[in-house]
């Protein structure tokens, strides 16, 4: 066992060095701010066998971003990025809703199941397309997924015929507003996907191979990693996550608007990943970090109205918090802050030449 | 040593006792260089000898720590490369630093376009460019887009641009590395022309024959020091190589050959080769080459830098796709290796010379680095069970004496030698039949080096086929049963390593003494 003398101190330093320390501090701080603004903020009550309260809302409303961010984490770990997730969400939602509306039994549970399956199947197809462009054709991920980001909205419009499609199907609606074992279904889905992904990635070798591709693509190729398959897989998975998120969002509003469903969700998801400590340069990734990041964003969204920030300052406030968290997390920024006090200028050796003629 | 004291004119550039230190490394140590007008001066040396540092010290990229630089007799220190250019010292680097989607004329006059009434005068620009190009015997349309011309022509345009600024000194850093024979001839023509006009030319190249063809004088560097300045006419290739790699041939003995002779009595040729390459080649990296590898045999590849050593190993492993030739693995149907994955499935393994870029995963643990080869072969669905994992890692940490002996440390915290051992372990865990080692002992300390050499010998004894590539000829000779010599991207000799010493290898490479190499070439 290690020495006990400076155990407390060492533990503190170890905690601070942990990649989740600052995001968790920020999350805690935001919650405290909310608690001051609304003393009942942490209250959770059971009503009709369901949990209710602000904290439950945060998890429930954060579910779509969390889902998208989980997929995004794996994509980013391979040095990629997926900008099309919002559009994929819209297509998945559109396909499911249009199917339900057109179905003769539009209220039946079976219809909802088929609709959900179709939405997910379409997502997989879109993920295959993204993965094909990136891993086979070799297009830069940002460009390859930009194609679907733009075209995807158009596809969703075609599916819905440009109309806002409203559905009345309780089974479908339960995706967002239903409860299971007192917990909201949306939150359960997102947390379930989180747990399943965590297990698959860490219990199989997938996580290791994803990281190796992200850390050093050329060395991965020479060591025989099937990079193409791995990259393809993560894009399909990211699209599947995005499709699930799209279904939840559509279920939440009982409708789909091809123009707005999942709009800018890719940016929130990328933010969640970055806040969680996964580098955009690829390589090591942390799904737990992404979970914290997504919850931080969901809390932030909730905080803004709660502490009475005017709607027009909404985005500015969000940006401010994000910048602070990212700075706190950056080892470089922290080092600069620490060194501020005792810094002495030790520039490169100046030429000791007698004269310098140019 | 006949220091070439010729009735020389005033040198345009004289560098005296120049030293540069980077951290603890003495990159240049009291180096002197003089460039005379109307002479092609070759700068020779192995990698890391200090050639490019010297060029950068001259052209103001680096600040010198001590010593003096005189330009036409005036002591000068350039603060920036632009200042050097202004003073008539132009550099053309290996990669052409031009804008491919501008025209030839625009490239040549970039930044100093002729203007009329504030607008660029295109007519005048094309006229001036045409004049300068013609002066060098380059006949191309100055209005054509640069990117549409072959690399060689682009290189000539870069040179034309460089000399157009009234260059008194023209530095050409590896200008011929991507040119074919005709293009080299064309470049040399231009160089001759410039030399006759009185320009001092610095020529850096790894191609010995070219150096001897074009240069008048050379300065040879080794480990940041000048080891000789010679007139080319009075120097042989053999002498040059000896100076470059620092070998006093008289002192060389055959210390390791006792081990050698004992090892090579296995009659390899009667058996079926594990791997056989027929006419394997790739444009710009290796001419069509035949090679057979047998079980239990170490094949040493000797050759200078740029001779095609690495290229050969990469082609054998499928890391680069060959243009020509076929590879047969264990007599199976002839087919090309499509990829490293394909090669690994056929029990090949390849340790790249570029450990950092092509081998190591710095952020991953030592254990993960070690097991990645096996894991990649198993696929992601079949993780290596913890017990196997611990057993393998423990076994190889001990067997290869990897330190610190904690496999959970990130790879980046290990020294180069230990990283190299981890990479060897990675491949040994996959139990390959053929192990291709490209510079496995470069940049590592002597202790690790001997351990790796010992390991190679043991592996071959156990029946593995090993290809051993190293810039250090003694090492190659000590370990190999058979020797393959490459020069200028071509196999020039192959023979059993019986009674060969470093001297013989150098003679083969430089093609001197009795046309030994010529005979070999005819055989091959």
Do residues B226 and B284 share a domain? no
B373 touches chain A (CB under 8 A): yes
Alpha helices in B236-333 (DSSP H): 237-245, 257-263, 309-317
Distance in angstroms (rounded) separating the CA atoms of residues B11 and B208: 25
The CA distance from B53 to the nearest CA of chain A, in Å, is 16
pLDDT, residue A9, reads: 63
pLDDT, residue B335, reads: 62
Question: From A222, which residue of chain B is nearest by alpha-carbon distance?
Answer: B340
Share of chain B above pLDDT 90, in %: 22
Question: Where residue B95 falls among pLDDT bands split at 50, 70, 90?
Answer: low
- Say which residues have a Cβ less than 8 Å from residue A237's Cβ, sequence separation at least 6: A71, A74, A127, A197
CB contact under 8 A, B384 and A223: no
Question: From B359, which residue of chain A is nearest by alpha-carbon distance?
Answer: A219
In this predicted structure, which of A21-25, B49-53, B258-262, B327-331 has the lowest mean pLDDT? B258-262
- Average pLDDT of chain A to the nearest whole number: 85
Question: Where residue A191 falls among pLDDT bands split at 50, 70, 90?
Answer: very high
Question: From B86, which residue of chain A is nearest by alpha-carbon distance?
Answer: A358
The dihedral sign for the CA sequence A37, A38, A43, A47? negative
Sheet holding B324-329, edge to edge: B286-293, B275-282, B324-329
Do residues B472 and B381 share a domain? yes
pLDDT, residue A277, reads: 85
Residue A340 predicted with pLDDT over 70 = no
Number of Cβ pairs < 8 A linking chain A and chain B: 104
Q: For an interface test with A, give the residue of B67, B372, B388, B422 to mutate (most A CBs within 10 A).
A: B372
The CA distance from B179 to the nearest CA of chain A, in Å, is 26
Pairing mode, if any, of strands B200-204 and B169-173? parallel
Distance in angstroms (rounded) separating the CA atoms of residues B512 and B239: 10
Do residues B229 and B289 share a domain? no
Partner-chain residue, chosen from A209, A221, A284, that has the shortest CB–CB distance to B380: A209
Mean pLDDT value across residues B329-336: 67
* Domain region containing B314: 251-523
Q: Residue B470, SS3? A: coil
Residue B379 predicted with pLDDT over 70 = yes
Share of chain B above pLDDT 70, in %: 87
What confidence tens digit (pLDDT) does each residue in B348-366 have?
Answer: 999 998 888 899 999 999 9
Chain B residues close to A220, C-beta within 8 Å: 376
Chain B residues close to A217, C-beta within 8 Å: none
pLDDT, residue B401, reads: 85
Q: List beta partners, residue A256.
A: A165
Q: Is the ipTM of this complex over 0.85?
A: no
CB contact under 8 A, B380 and A205: yes
Do residues B437 and B504 share a domain? yes
Strands (E), A283-350: none
Do residues B352 and B396 share a domain? yes
pLDDT, residue A82, reads: 94
Place of tokens 């099937």: A226
Partner-chain residue, chosen from B352, B357, B363, that has the shortest CB–CB distance to A283: B363
B379 touches chain A (CB under 8 A): yes
Mean pLDDT value across residues B401-420: 86
Residue A293 predicted with pLDDT over 80 = yes
pLDDT, residue A6, reads: 56
Do residues B338 and B194 share a domain? no
Question: Where residue B113 falls among pLDDT bands split at 50, 70, 90?
Answer: confident
Chain A residues close to B368, C-beta within 8 Å: 208, 212
Partner-chain residue, chosen from A205, A353, A358, that has the shortest CB–CB distance to B83: A358
Share of chain A above pLDDT 90, in %: 46
The CA distance from B303 to the nearest CA of chain A, in Å, is 24
Residue B472 predicted with pLDDT over 50 = yes
Residue A350 predicted with pLDDT over 80 = no
Residue A93 predicted with pLDDT over 90 = yes
Residues, chain A: 358
Partner-chain residue, chosen from A204, A221, A358, that has the shortest CB–CB distance to B380: A204
Which residues in A have their CB inside 8 Å of a CB on B? Answer: 203-206, 208-209, 211-212, 215-216, 218-226, 230, 283-284, 349, 351-353, 355-358
Mean pLDDT value across residues A173-187: 85
Partner-chain residue, chosen from A204, A224, A230, that has the shortest CB–CB distance to B344: A224
Mean pLDDT value across residues A328-351: 58
Do residues B151 and B259 share a domain? no
Among B192, B224, B250, the domain-final residue is B250
CATH number of the domain residue B235 falls in: 3.40.50.300
Mean pLDDT value across residues B128-142: 83
Distance in angstroms (rounded) separating the CA atoms of residues B148 and B139: 15
The answer to whether the bond into B125 is cis (omega within 30° of 0) is no
What confidence tens digit (pLDDT) does each residue in A114-170 have?
Answer: 999 999 999 999 999 999 999 999 899 999 999 999 999 999 999 988 888 888 888
Do residues B440 and B329 share a domain? yes
Place of tokens 């540092």: B53
Question: Where residue A236 falls among pLDDT bands split at 50, 70, 90?
Answer: very high
In a domain, residue B287? The reply is yes
Among B196, B223, B250, the domain-final residue is B250
Total of domains in chain B: 2
The DSSP-derived string for A180-238 is ETTEEHHHHHHHHHHHHHHHHHHHSSHHHHHHHHHH-HHHHHHTT--HHHHHHHHHHHH
Chain A residues close to B64, C-beta within 8 Å: 351, 353
In a domain, residue B6? The reply is no
Distance in angstroms (rounded) separating the CA atoms of residues A333 and B270: 66
Do residues B321 and B470 share a domain? yes
- Answer with the residue of higher pLDDT: A100 or A309: A100
CB contact under 8 A, A349 and B65: yes
Do residues B413 and B440 share a domain? yes
Among B250, B266, B289, the domain-final residue is B250
Quick one: how many helices (H) and strands (E) in chain B? 19, 21
Mean pLDDT value across residues A97-111: 86
Pairing mode, if any, of strands B25-35 and B40-44? unpaired
Partner-chain residue, chosen from A211, A226, A355, that has the shortest CB–CB distance to B341: A226
CB contact under 8 A, B340 and A221: yes
Around B191, how many Cα atoms within 13 Å sit in the side-chain half-sphere? 27
Two tokens at A105?
A: 């039994």
What confidence tens digit (pLDDT) does each residue in B204-263 have?
Answer: 887 788 888 999 999 998 888 898 899 998 888 878 877 887 654 433 333 344 344 444
Chain A residues close to B83, C-beta within 8 Å: 358
Do residues B166 and B186 share a domain? yes
Mean pLDDT value across residues B19-39: 86
Do residues B310 and B439 share a domain? yes
Distance in angstroms (rounded) separating the CA atoms of residues A22 and A16: 7
Residue B2 predicted with pLDDT over 50 = no
Residue B181 predicted with pLDDT over 80 = no
Chain A residues close to B426, C-beta within 8 Å: 223
Pairing mode, if any, of strands B298-302 and B324-329? unpaired
Residue A268 predicted with pLDDT over 70 = yes
Two tokens at B333?
A: 């149907």
Residue B49 predicted with pLDDT over 60 = yes
In a domain, residue B304? The reply is yes
What confidence tens digit (pLDDT) does each residue in B417-450 have?
Answer: 888 899 999 999 999 999 999 988 877 766 677 7
In this predicted structure, which of A46-60, A104-118, B219-233, B291-305 has the lowest mean pLDDT? A46-60
The CA distance from A348 to the nearest CA of chain B, in Å, is 10
CB contact under 8 A, B340 and A223: yes
Distance in angstroms (rounded) separating the CA atoms of residues B164 and B175: 18
Around B503, how many Cα atoms within 13 Å sit in the side-chain half-sphere? 9
- Say which residues have a Cβ less than 8 Å from residue B131's Cβ, sequence separation at least 6: none
Mean pLDDT value across residues B35-56: 86
pLDDT, residue A305, reads: 81
- Average pLDDT of chain B to the nearest whole number: 82
Question: Where residue A107 falls among pLDDT bands split at 50, 70, 90?
Answer: confident
Distance in angstroms (rounded) separating the CA atoms of residues A32 and A18: 22
Question: From B350, which residue of chain A is nearest by alpha-carbon distance?
Answer: A222
Mean pLDDT value across residues B468-480: 87
Does an H or E element contain A50, and which? strand A50-53
Cα–Cα distances (Å) from B357 to A285, B45, B445, in that order, read 21, 24, 20
């Amino acid at each position: 066992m290690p020495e006990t003398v400076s155990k407390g101190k060492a533990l503190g330093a170890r905690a601070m060095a942990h990649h989740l320390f600052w995001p968790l501090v920020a999350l805690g701080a935001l919650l405290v701010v909310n608690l001051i603004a609304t003393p009942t903020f942490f209250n959770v009550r059971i009503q009709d066998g369901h949990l209710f309260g602000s904290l439950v809302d945060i998890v429930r409303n954060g579910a779509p971003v969390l889902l998208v961010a989980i997929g995004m984490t794996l994509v980013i770990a391979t040095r990629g990025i997926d900008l099309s997730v919002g559009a994929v969400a819209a297509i998945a939602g559109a396909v499911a809703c249009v199917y339900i509306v057109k179905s003769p039994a539009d209220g039946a549970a079976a219809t909802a199941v088929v609709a959900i399956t179709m939405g997910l199947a379409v997502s997989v197809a879109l993920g295959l397309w993204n993965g094909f462009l990136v891993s086979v054709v070799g297009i830069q991920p940002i460009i390859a997924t930009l194609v679907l980001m733009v075209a995807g909205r158009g596809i969703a419009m075609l599916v819905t015929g440009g109309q806002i499609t409203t559905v009345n199907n309780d089974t479908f609606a339960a995706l967002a507003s239903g409860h299971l074992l007192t917990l909201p279904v949306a939150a359960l889905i997102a947390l379930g996907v989180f747990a399943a992904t965590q297990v698959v990635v860490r219990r199989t070798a997938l996580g290791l191979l994803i990281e190796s591709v992200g850390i050093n693509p050329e060395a991965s190729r020479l060591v025989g990693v099937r990079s193409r398959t791995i990259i393809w897989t993560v894009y399909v998975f990211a699209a599947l996550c995005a499709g699930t998120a799209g279904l939840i969002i559509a279920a939440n509003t009982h409708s789909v608007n091809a123009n707005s469903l999942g709009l800018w969700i890719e940016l929130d998801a990328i933010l969640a990943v970055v806040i969680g400590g996964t580098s955009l340069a690829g390589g090591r990734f942390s799904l737990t970090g992404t979970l914290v990041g997504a919850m931080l964003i969901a809390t932030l969204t909730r905080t803004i109205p709660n502490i009475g920030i005017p709607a027009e300052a909404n985005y500015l406030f969000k940006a401010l918090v994000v910048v602070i968290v990212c700075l706190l997390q950056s080892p470089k920024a922290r080092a600069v802050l620490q060194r501020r006090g005792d810094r002495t200028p030790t520039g490169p050796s100046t030429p000791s030449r007698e004269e310098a003629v140019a | 040593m006949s220091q070439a004291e010729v009735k020389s004119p005033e040198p345009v550039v004289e560098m005296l006792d120049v030293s540069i230190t980077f951290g603890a490394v003495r990159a240049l140590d009291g180096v002197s260089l003089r460039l005379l007008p109307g002479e092609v001066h070759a700068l020779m040396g192995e990698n890391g000898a200090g050639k490019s540092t010297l060029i950068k010290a001259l052209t103001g990229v680096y600040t010198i720590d001590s010593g003096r630089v005189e330009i036409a007799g005036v002591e000068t220190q350039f603060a920036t490369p632009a200042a050097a250019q202004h003073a008539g010292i132009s550099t053309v680097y290996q990669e052409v630093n031009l804008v491919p989607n501008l025209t030839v004329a625009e490239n040549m006059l970039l930044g100093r376009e002729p203007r009329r009434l504030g607008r660029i005068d295109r007519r005048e620009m094309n006229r001036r460019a045409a004049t300068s190009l013609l002066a060098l015997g380059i006949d191309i349309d100055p209005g054509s887009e640069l990117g549409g011309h072959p690399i060689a022509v682009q290189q000539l345009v870069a040179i034309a641009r460089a000399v157009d600024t009234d260059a008194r000194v023209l530095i050409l850093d590896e200008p011929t590395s991507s040119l074919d024979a005709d293009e080299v001839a064309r470049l040399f023509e231009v160089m001759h022309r410039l030399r006759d006009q009185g320009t001092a030319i610095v020529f850096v190249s790894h191609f010995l024959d070219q150096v001897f063809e074009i240069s008048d004088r050379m300065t040879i560097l080794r480990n940041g020091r000048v080891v000789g300045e010679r007139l080319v006419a009075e120097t042989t290739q053999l002498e040059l190589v000896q100076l470059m790699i620092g070998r006093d041939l008289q002192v060389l003995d055959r210390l390791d050959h006792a081990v050698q002779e004992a090892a090579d009595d296995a009659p390899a040729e009667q058996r079926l080769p594990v791997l056989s390459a027929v006419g394997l080649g790739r444009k710009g990296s290796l001419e069509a080459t035949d090679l057979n590898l047998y079980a239990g045999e170490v094949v040493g590849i000797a050759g200078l830098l740029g001779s095609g050593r690495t290229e050969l190993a990469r082609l054998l492993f499928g890391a680069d796709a060959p243009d020509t030739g076929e590879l047969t693995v264990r007599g199976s149907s002839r087919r090309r290796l499509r990829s490293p994955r394909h090669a690994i499935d056929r029990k090949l393994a390849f340790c790249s010379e570029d450990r950092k870029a092509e081998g190591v995963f710095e952020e991953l643990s030592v254990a993960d680095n070690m097991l990645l080869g096996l894991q990649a072969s198993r696929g992601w669905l079949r993780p290596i069970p913890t017990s196997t994992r611990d057993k393998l890692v423990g076994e190889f940490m001990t067997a290869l004496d990897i330190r610190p002996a904690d496999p959970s440390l990130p790879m980046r915290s290990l020294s180069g030698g230990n990283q190299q051992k981890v990479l060897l372990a990675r491949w040994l865990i996959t139990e390959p039949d053929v192990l291709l080692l490209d510079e496995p002992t470069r940049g590592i300390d002597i202790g690790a080096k001997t351990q790796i050499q010992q390991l190679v010998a043991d592996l071959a004894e156990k029946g593995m086929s090993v290809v051993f590539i190293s810039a250090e000829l003694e090492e190659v000779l000590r370990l190999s049963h058979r020797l393959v010599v490459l020069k200028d991207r071509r196999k020039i000799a192959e023979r059993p390593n019986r009674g060969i010493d470093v001297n013989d290898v150098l003679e083969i490479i430089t093609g001197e003494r009795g046309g030994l190499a010529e005979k070999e070439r005819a055989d091959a």
